[in-house]
Chains A and B, each alone.
Chain A
Amino acid sequence: AQSVTQLDSQVPVFEEAPVELRCNYSSSVSVYLFWYVQYPNQGLQLLLKYLSGSTLVKGINGFEAEFNKSQTSFHLRKPSVHISDTAEYFCAVISDTGRRALTFGSGTRLQVQP
């Protein structure tokens, strides 16, 4: 079994400030890691993913995340946020064996203020 923990339910930040959204996972097998963004009343859009290779992954909209196996973390970062980044962000994992269904964290609401 696997699980995903997003410790911060809400992260308020001012425009142009840096932000980090935290994600930790637990799994007995190797996993693939994902960050998705959800705008109000919409489905999910893939921001970035880690499958293998370089632990620093760059995604769309200026976001990046770093996979840290020893700390079982996959934190999402952006050096300078915009108002348009206000949304719900979900961290998710898939185990590299067995079922292919995503296990999601509880989500973090990023609120960018002017």
Chain B
Amino acid sequence: GAVVSQHPSWVICKSGTSVKIECRSLDFQATTMFWYRQFPKQSLMLMATSNEGSKATYEQGVEKDKFLINHASLTLSTLTVTSAHPEDSSFYICSATLAGSTDTQYFGPGTRLTVL
């Protein structure tokens, strides 16, 4: 149980285009989802916290107009990287917490974004 999927698993795009990444909780309802970014050989850095039906809370230094997050249902959150540039190339990982639980996060497999 508690499986989180991400789609796509990898994507290559041209500079200036937008890319949407989906995060789904497959067998549970997730009231809160988190989006992290991980650069090569580094730890995960929290980008934003997303609660179903409300606006996402972004971490300091993360541009909310560039990284659009939508959490329209209890099983789906999306991250859209708008006008992507090469410096946005990274590994993006989402996680979700079970409705009614606030400690354990279940992580998706990640999405490798490469911007040319």
Residues of A within 8 A of B (CB): 32, 34, 36, 41-46, 49, 51, 90, 94, 99-107
Contact = CB atoms under 8 A, between A and B. Distances in A.
Given A100-B32, A102-B34, A107-B43, A43 B49 contact: no
A100 to B, nearest CB: 5
B107 A44 contact: yes
25 contacts: A32-B103, A34-B104, A41-B91, A41-B110, A41-B112, A43-B4, A43-B93, A43-B107, A43-B109, A43-B110, A44-B44, A44-B95, A44-B107, A49-B103, A49-B104, A100-B32, A101-B34, A101-B46, A102-B34, A102-B46, A102-B105, A103-B46, A105-B43, A106-B43, A107-B42
Interface string B76-116: 00000000000000010101010000111111111010000
Nearest to A32: B103
Contacts of B110: 41-43
Interface residues of B, number: 24
A9 B105 CA distance: 24
B107 A36 contact: yes
B74 to A, nearest CB: 16
Tell me which of B46, B106, B107 has the highest count of chain A C-beta atoms within 10 A of its own C-beta: B107
A41 to B, nearest CB: 7
Nearest to B59: A101
Contacts of B44: 44, 90, 102, 104
Contact of A46 (B32, B104, B108, B112): B104
Contact of A42 (B4, B46, B103, B109): B109
A106 B42 contact: yes
Contacts of B102: 100
